Structure 1
Amino acid sequence: MEDIPGYVAGTFIAIVIAVLSFLYYAISVATPGKKNLTSSLAITFLVGWIFFVCVQTFNGYFTSLSGFPRLPMFVGFTLVAILFFLVWPRSRALLMNMPVTTLHYIHIVRVPVEMVLWWLAVSRAIPIDMTFEGSNMDIISGISAPFAAVFMVGARSKSRIGAIIWNLIALGLLFYVVNIAVSFMPYFFTPTGGQVANLGVFYFPYILLPTFVVPAIIFSHLVSLMQLIFKKDQSQF
């Protein structure tokens, strides 16, 4: 990992900050009467989670590949937490009030994420299959996100069906590249010839891709779909 240029880590840290900012804004708008308390608690929890993951990374927790797969366990925890907040009645009320346009704009970060993945692949920290030069077409979601935000859920134009279809396609593209990433993890893959395993995401700061950025993107899609499907008043978007 020493051969990776410093600007790659800097770009990725900026992505993490951007995702945090989008989520903080969405929570603040959803709780105008409790903005200081609710949004502060939420951002504190998220920053605490990021800090905890980073400490474990620096302690070499994730690079120890013996025993139970540790990284998938952490990712599984974040997904369970997302499902809990989606089904818990008190949190559902908050999620239904999040600005759906913000939940679409957040996907713009997927463009710089793809650049980071490409830089990591050039440095042979991850396989080329995880980039847009391989089988990863997730950059399409990032490029199309502002158009979806403006013309499908924004004030300028609305298309509930179009937004649902966009979210499902973008979510499918994300799950596809996640499947590629998992298949190249050293738990399940042994490099042969010129191939490399997906090792880059086991180190700081890229560990935050599977443990924070990707779950945040999944969360945004699911909350958007929940609003698009269950909110009857389209003017509230």
Structure 2
Amino acid sequence: MSNLPSYISIVFTCTTLLTLWLFSRTVNYSKIALIIVILWAIFQSLMGISGFYSNLNSFPPRFLLLIAPAILLIIIIFNTNKGQAFIDQLSIEKITLIHIVRIPVEIVLLWLFLQKKIPQLMTFEGRNFDILAGITAPIVYYLVFVKQLMSKKMLLFWNFACLALLLNIVINALLSAPLPFQQFAFEQPNIAILYFPFNLLPSVVVPLVLFAHLVAIRRFLKK
């Protein structure tokens, strides 16, 4: 990925750091949570830099290491007493704001498409409408928590809708990657996420955004 304009990597790296900062505020700067997430981000950075994920012929697919551990950790958190106690004391206000990172992510995806590193269907010019979640996040935050003009039920609906947008792009991205189960974009597969720093999108940024939605939904449904 050395032939990419440097600004693309710089903007995405800054976006990842912004995500980590917003997450740290969300978890009230919990040392354990921050240590786990930062170590995971460092590990994934080293894997991406080494070209570990560019080997597409290994079995099981190395790509699984990008997403499986984070998803497994989220499942554990939501199904253990300590994990539930931890997420039930998080601030919904701060959780809502973390979704603004989806705006720069979508801009980076468009740049990657123009550089022929991902297919068009992964951008807002194709099947990806996830930028709507990023644009509406500060609006929803303002209407719900500042002006109190929007009900908590509407916030719950917004979380479900934005979760659907997230799952849509995740599924399309996975099925566009040059893996045995690829279904789309054979003329221009999704190769960017196999390299640093873009491998941090499925391994760090997406799991944190998913975690934020699930925490908010659990809190509202529990009430």
CA–CA separation in structure 2 for the residues paired with 1:207 and 1:174: 17
Matched residue, 1:16? 16
Return the match for 2:222 from 204, 207, 230: 230
CA–CA separation in structure 1 for the residues paired with 2:64 and 2:141: 31
Q: Aligned AA for 1:84?
A: I
Find the residue that maps to 1:198 and give its secondary structure: coil
Contact 1:105 1:145 in 2 (8 A): yes
CA–CA separation in structure 1 for the residues paired with 2:107 and 2:213: 21
- How far the C-alpha of 1:56 sits from its partner, in A, is 1.6
Matched residue, 1:54? 45
Return the match for 2:115 from 113, 117, 123: 123
Return the match for 2:33 from 39, 42, 53: 42
Q: Aligned AA for 1:4?
A: L
Find the residue that maps to 1:183 and give its secondary structure: helix
Matched residue, 1:89? 81
Matched residue, 1:149? 141
CA–CA separation in structure 1 for the residues paired with 2:134 and 2:113: 19
CA–CA separation in structure 2 for the residues paired with 1:128 and 1:23: 29
Give the TM-score, by structure 1 length. Answer: 0.88
- How far the C-alpha of 1:24 sits from its partner, in A, is 1.0
Contact 1:101 1:150 in 2 (8 A): no
CA–CA separation in structure 2 for the residues paired with 1:156 and 1:91: 32
CA–CA separation in structure 2 for the residues paired with 1:144 and 1:20: 20
- How far the C-alpha of 1:174 sits from its partner, in A, is 0.7
Matched residue, 1:98? 90
Matches within 5 A, 1:101-180: 101-152=93-144, 154-157=145-148, 158-180=150-172
CA–CA separation in structure 1 for the residues paired with 2:126 and 2:34: 35
Unpaired stretches in structure 1, ≥5 consecutive residues: 29-34, 232-237
Give the TM-score, by structure 2 length. Answer: 0.93
Q: Aligned AA for 1:42?
A: A
Return the match for 2:173 from 177, 181, 185: 181
CA–CA separation in structure 2 for the residues paired with 1:42 and 1:180: 29
- How far the C-alpha of 1:191 sits from its partner, in A, is 5.8
Matched residue, 1:27? 27
- How far the C-alpha of 1:64 sits from its partner, in A, is 0.7
Contact 1:96 1:227 in 2 (8 A): yes
Matched residue, 1:64? 55
